[in-house]
Amino acid sequence: MTKSELIACIAERNPHLFQRDVERIVSTIFDEISAALSRGDRVELRGFGAFSVKHRDSRVGRNPRTGEAVSVAEKVVPYFKTGKQLRDLLNGPEPAPAPAEPAADPTPPAS
């Protein structure tokens, strides 16, 4: 699905809106998320996921072809963490969680 297909799909569900307005709505959403990230802010959309910016320190990398050490500058990269609800949608309902290891009580079961 591309952005234009997404717009077409939303327009179809909202026949009372101009296509042009739907375009602006969809663009606004992604523009605002981008703007927030470029300010260093997080964007949290419960159920869907959260966008954030991660800082990677500078490090000494290697040119994989020559094996030569190269310094890699520190950088900021966008990151997305899938929300729980969407993760569950992708995988079907979570199987009943195994009873948590009784961390507070380390005594092994008597037998």
Partner 1 sequence: MSRTMTRAQLSESIYQEVGLSRNESAELLEMVLEEISAALVRGEAVKISSFGSFSVRQKGERIGRNPKTGEEVPIRPRKVLVFRASQLLKARIRGEKISADADRDLDIPDAQPPSGYSSSVIDKIREEIGE
Residue type, 108: P
CB of 95 to partner 1, least distance (A): 8
Smallest distance from partner 1 to CB 15, Å: 13
d(CA 22, CA 30): 13
Q: Closest separation between CB of residue 87 and partner 1, Å?
A: 7
Residue in 19, 58, 59, 75 binding partner 1, rule: CB under 8 A = 75
> Of 79, 75, 40, 70, which is closest to residue 57 (Cα–Cα)?
75
Are the CB atoms for 94 and 88 separated by under 8 Å?
yes
- Cβ-count burial 71-84 (b if 16+ within 10 Å, e if not): eeeeeeeeeeeebe
Is residue 21 a contact point for partner 1 (CB under 8 A)? Answer: yes
41, 82 contact by CB (below 8 A): no
Asked if 19 interacts with partner 1 (CB under 8 A), we say no
The amino acid occupying position 89 is: L
Q: Judged by CB under 8 A, which of 15, 46, 96, 111 binds partner 1?
A: 46
Q: Give the binding site for partner 1 (CB under 8 A).
A: 1-3, 6, 9-10, 13-14, 17, 21, 24-26, 28-30, 32-34, 36-49, 51, 53, 63, 66, 68, 70, 75-80, 82, 86-87, 89-91, 95, 101, 103
